[in-house]
Amino acid sequence: MPKILIVEDEVNVSSFIQKGLEEEGYFVDVAYDGALGLRFALTREYDLIVLDVVLPQMNGLEVCRRYREQSGYSVPVLMLTALGSTDDIVVGLDSGADDYLVKPFRFKELNARINAMLRRKSNAHTTPELKFADLVLNLDTITVTRSGREILLTSKEFRLLEFFMNNPRRVLSRTSIFENVWDANYDMNTNIVDVYIKYLRDKIDKDFNSKLIHTVIGMGYVLKEE
């Protein structure tokens, strides 16, 4: 459940936002002044922060600036500004806010904005590429390159390599490889894992000086640099 911090001193506004977001399934914290808002933001983990500009103790622009200074840019901030205050918008975005919403707004608008920001955030975190040494596996285009050279794999070889690249430097037993790469209808009582490891090695290691897939005798296989 995403956690959202609301920093807003006007109780009617903050409780209206809180109620709506909780109904949408979010976990919500509310801080009623800027100093407390900053403390919550720095000490608790949130997925997004809704921050009003006009606040007692410390205004929202200052809260945002200090928050960005101390904690970086990973958590999106949605700034609430008063109608017509374009200066606030510019300064707000300068201070490190990701987006803004002009008051008064309808809950639907706020919710749509929050959903879009959380979506952007999660997209930014899921990279379609897995990299290990000079090996790159792209999950969008289903392509593999080593040292920039494209390597053609069958879909099973691709899944096998993906499993290795998601678990680099970990010794993977034949059983765990089998369970993660093959579906349950296959019979494990064959050397199918070893056969496919050989296929994969022939394609990604054979023509290169440094080998990446290594046998760990009696244990399984590991993706690592020599």
State the CB neighbour count (10 A cutoff) for residue 72. Answer: 9
Nearer to Ca ion (CB atom), residue 52 or residue 98: 52
Helix (H, G, I), strand (E, B) or coil at 157: helix
8 A C-beta contact, residue 78 and residue 100: yes
How many binding residues for Ca ion (CB under 5 A)? 4
With binding defined as CB under 5 A, does residue 88 bind Ca ion?
no
Binds Ca ion (CB under 5 A): choice among 9, 47, 88, 162: 9
Nearer to Ca ion (CB atom), residue 30 or residue 136: 30
Q: Least Å distance between CB 53 and Ca ion? A: 7
Q: Least Å distance between CB 71 and Ca ion? A: 22
Nearer to Ca ion (CB atom), residue 63 or residue 212: 63
Nearer to Ca ion (CB atom), residue 55 or residue 160: 55
Nearer to Ca ion (CB atom), residue 51 or residue 114: 51
8 A C-beta contact, residue 164 and residue 223: yes
Binding mask 47-86 for Ca ion (x = CB under 5 A): -----x-x--------------------------------
Nearer to Ca ion (CB atom), residue 49 or residue 177: 49
Instruction: Identify the helix (H) or strand (E) that includes residue 196.
Output: helix 192-204
Burial classification of residue 95, based on how many CB atoms lie within 10 Å of its CB (0-12 exposed, 13-18 middle, 19 or more buried): buried
- Amino acid (one-letter) located at 192: I
Binding mask 10-29 for Ca ion (x = CB under 5 A): x-------------------
Q: What is the CA radius of gyration of the chain?
A: 25
**In the numeric block, which tokens belong to residue 211?**
């080998």
Crossing angle of helices 192-204 and 155-166, in 10° steps, is 90
- Mark the segment that binds Ca ion (CB under 5 A) among 7-15, 109-117, 118-126, 154-162: 7-15
* Cα torsion through 76, 82, 86, 87, rounded to 10: -80
Applying CB under 5 A, the residues found at the interface with Ca ion are 9-10, 52, 54
